[in-house]
Amino acid sequence: MSTTWTAANNVALLNVDPQDTFCPNGALAVTDGDQIIPALNSLREHFNKVYWSQDFHPDNHISFASTHGAEPFSLKKVSYGDQVMWPEHAKQSASDGTGAQFHKDLVFKASDKIIQKGTNKDIDSYSAFLENDKKTPPRFDNGNSLADELRADGVDTLVITGLALDYCAGDTALDALSEKFNVIVVEDATRSITPEGRLAKIAQIVDAGGIVLTSAALQKNPQLICA
């Protein structure tokens, strides 16, 4: 594949939560999370359709350990199941390492679309398609869910990157497959919280019919995303 390749119009790039809060010095830092930023910027040059998800929590969010006086990374039973008690992160009201801002080195264009998730203080949201209750979709300002918007844009195939593969990026990929989108996860454009979680999520994605490959492999397989 030429370095000047362009993905077909039915293919979109979906970058999941590449935010400061998940990068080094962030409140919920993923090891080497910032190292995916050059890969995301390089990939986006080849796509006409680019989507982003953004973790975007209000204060006192249900997922914050501080909300419950709980130990970080402990589990708490909530209405939709077990909830990990995370450190405060991706806060709408902050601009430091606990804030929701995207990494400063990312390249955005006016045509890009951003879906914000985790905005309901009573439900956490790993996936960009469904909140953790597995029935409530995050929505754009126009009322569309991510699946609605993608279909309206003529997209049936997603190339997914982001943070973290064993949580938000991986759950987004699995829900995309459930929504009958074709899914390709670019492994070296993701990072994970644990190696064990990474391997388990990759296995789930492959078992569900997704493709997990490196950016180099994507370059060598133009039939996957090019017309």
Q: Report how far residue 131's alpha carbon sits from residue 161's, in angstroms, rounded to the nearest whole number.
A: 19
pLDDT tens digit sequence for 25-35:
999 999 999 99
Q: What is the number of alpha carbons within 13 Å of residue 136 lying toward its C-beta? A: 13
Residue 4's pLDDT is 77
The string of pLDDT tens digits covering residues 55-103 is 999 999 999 999 999 999 999 999 999 999 999 999 999 999 999 999 9
What pTM, to 2 d.p., does this model score?
0.96
Mean pLDDT of the chain, nearest integer? 96
- The catalytic residues are 17, 117, 168
Alpha carbon distances (Å) from 163 to 4, 31, 40, 52, 166 = 27, 10, 11, 11, 8
pLDDT tens readout for residues 188-208: 999 999 999 999 999 999 999
Q: What percent of the chain has pLDDT over 90?
A: 94
pLDDT of residue 5: 87
Integer-rounded Cα Rg, in Å, for the chain is 17
Both tokens of 173, joined, read: 């990929």
Q: Which domains does the chain have, with CATH numbers?
A: 11-59+103-224 (3.40.50.850)
